[in-house]
């Protein structure tokens, strides 16, 4: 296993289309369906970084910014912001795009925490995150601060 990995080695971009079965009676994408897609994208990101199976431990700061509607194209970006001992935090952002006009707007943002597991389903160590930019450093420090706050209960 590599000891250190950069964010680009695990970043995930996933695309979905909003069908009527994903929407409420007003044609708006259901929050639970969107979170399911975001969970999948962020799990792939975390597992790629860890090189292990990882389970969702926490959804933090989930904000639904504006609705997506039937027919919209949803783009989900999942990027690792922190790798600790066995846990990792992933920032996940979703946008909706209109097929014809191309107009794009943010729909949701959240931070997902995953814990890597060994073959006995026990927490297992993950590679450190190589921080390459000042922005990545800031995001890492914010994740560290959230983890510290959680540990204080």
Ligand X SMILES: CC(C)(COP(=O)(O)OP(=O)(O)OC[C@H]1O[C@@H](n2cnc3c(N)ncnc32)[C@H](O)[C@@H]1OP(=O)(O)O)[C@@H](O)C(=O)NCCC(=O)NCCS
The single residue among 45, 47, 87, 124 that binds ligand X, judged by CB under 6 A, is 87
d(CA 112, CA 41): 10
Contacts (Cβ under 8 Å, ≥6 apart) of 24: 30
CA distance 60 to 46: 15
8 binds ligand X (CB under 6 A): no
Of positions 10, 42, 77, 113, contacts ligand X by CB under 6 A = 113
Q: 42: part of which helix (H) or strand (E)?
A: helix 31-50
Shortest spacing between CB 71 and ligand X, in angstroms: 30
Q: Which of 127, 105, 106, 40 is nearest to 78 (CA)?
A: 40
x/- site string to ligand X, residues 121 to 140, per CB under 6 A?
--x-----------------
Q: Count of CB atoms within 10 A of residue 142's CB?
A: 15
Applying CB under 6 A, which of residues 34, 115, 124, 139 lies at the interface with ligand X? 115
77 belongs to the binding site for ligand X (CB under 6 A): no
Considering only residues 55, 59, 70, 73, which one is a binding residue for ligand X as defined by CB under 6 A?
55
**Minimum CB distance to ligand X, residue 21 (Å):** 23
């Amino acid at each position: 296993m590599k000891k250190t990995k950069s964010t680009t080695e695990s970043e995930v971009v996933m695309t979905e289309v909003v069908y009527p079965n994903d929407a409420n009676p007003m044609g708006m994408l259901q929050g639970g369906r969107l979170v399911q897609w975001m969970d999948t994208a962020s799990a792939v990101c975390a597992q790629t970084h860890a090189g292990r199976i990882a389970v969702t431990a926490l959804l933090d700061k989930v904000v639904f910014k504006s609705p997506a509607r039937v027919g919209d194209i949803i783009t989900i970006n999942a990027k690792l912001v922190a790798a600790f001992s066995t846990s990792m935090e992933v920032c996940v952002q979703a946008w909706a795009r209109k097929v014809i006009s191309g107009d794009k707007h943010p729909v949701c943002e959240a931070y997902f925490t995953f814990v890597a597991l060994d073959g006995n389903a026990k927490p297992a160590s993950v590679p450190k995150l190589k921080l390459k930019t000042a922005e990545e450093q800031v995001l890492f420090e914010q994740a560290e601060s959230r983890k510290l706050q959680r540990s204080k209960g």
